[in-house]
A = this chain, B = another copy of it.
Amino acid sequence: MPADPAAVLPADARAAFRAGLVTPTSGWSRGYAQVNVLSIPREQAFDLLLFAQRNPKPCPVLGVLEPGETSGPLLAGGDIRTDVPKYTVYHDGVLVDEPADVSAHWRDDLVTFLFGCSFTFEAALQDGGVRIAHLDQGVNVPMYRTNRQAAPAGAMAGPLVVSMRPVPAAQVADAVRITSRYPAVHGAPVHVGDPEELGVDLRSPDFGDAVRIPEGHLPVFWACGVTPQAAVMQSRPPLAIGHAPGHMLITDARDSDYLVP
């Protein structure tokens, strides 16, 4: 384990994971974009790409590796089968393995989607003076299935999944302004302040951990990258490979590459 993971360059981080290091990637390679990984057979890939096109806030596509490709410009010199610290492997939508290397599961018809991750905008929020409650409380961000359906595409359908971060009332506008400048990583919030309208019970996240909402804070909801994963699993493809929660692919793209004016 490096002394200062934040200072490790992406290619070196990927090499460490390839060599066998298994660790969550939060805090690694500061300034570089980490992404959600989802590999599915080409037969299902058109539906997922169309689902992403129709739901850009929860499914921001930062890159696609075509069938047979195991590397690409976002992971120069890397290998998508080994460079994520920990994977999840699903058969027919059921989790069957959580290996540190998926070479044994790989098929040449797999298409790999790289979706933007909220780590990028959380760094921007912190730089803008907005504290991140789940980091302060030392837990995972809470995520909820909402009562809203994402726009379906072919076999892909499912609820909009959101992440929630409590924000002080006086900083809600800042949080909206800052994240709206990162449309490639979920962008502006989809909802502010009323969990009931989304069909969400804040005490019972569907993924991650509940966080305490400090006095004077509002719950703010962003579209979440679990949305495409939930839709894919619901469609029960014969094989799907993802990253294990919190164990992301660290790319060579800088967070600032995704900042718009």
Chain A residues at the B interface, C-beta cutoff of 8 Å: 42, 45-46, 49-50, 53-54, 61, 64, 66-67, 111, 153-154
Contact = CB atoms under 8 A, between A and B. Distances in A.
A94 to B, nearest CB: 25
State how many copies of this chain the complex holds.
2
Nearest to A152: B66
A46 B42 contact: yes
Contact of A50 (B54, B64, B153): B64
Contact of A154 (B53, B61, B66, B154): B66
B66 A61 contact: no
A5 to B, nearest CB: 32
A154 B64 CA distance: 11
Nearest to A73: B151
Contacts of A61: 53
A46 B67 CA distance: 11
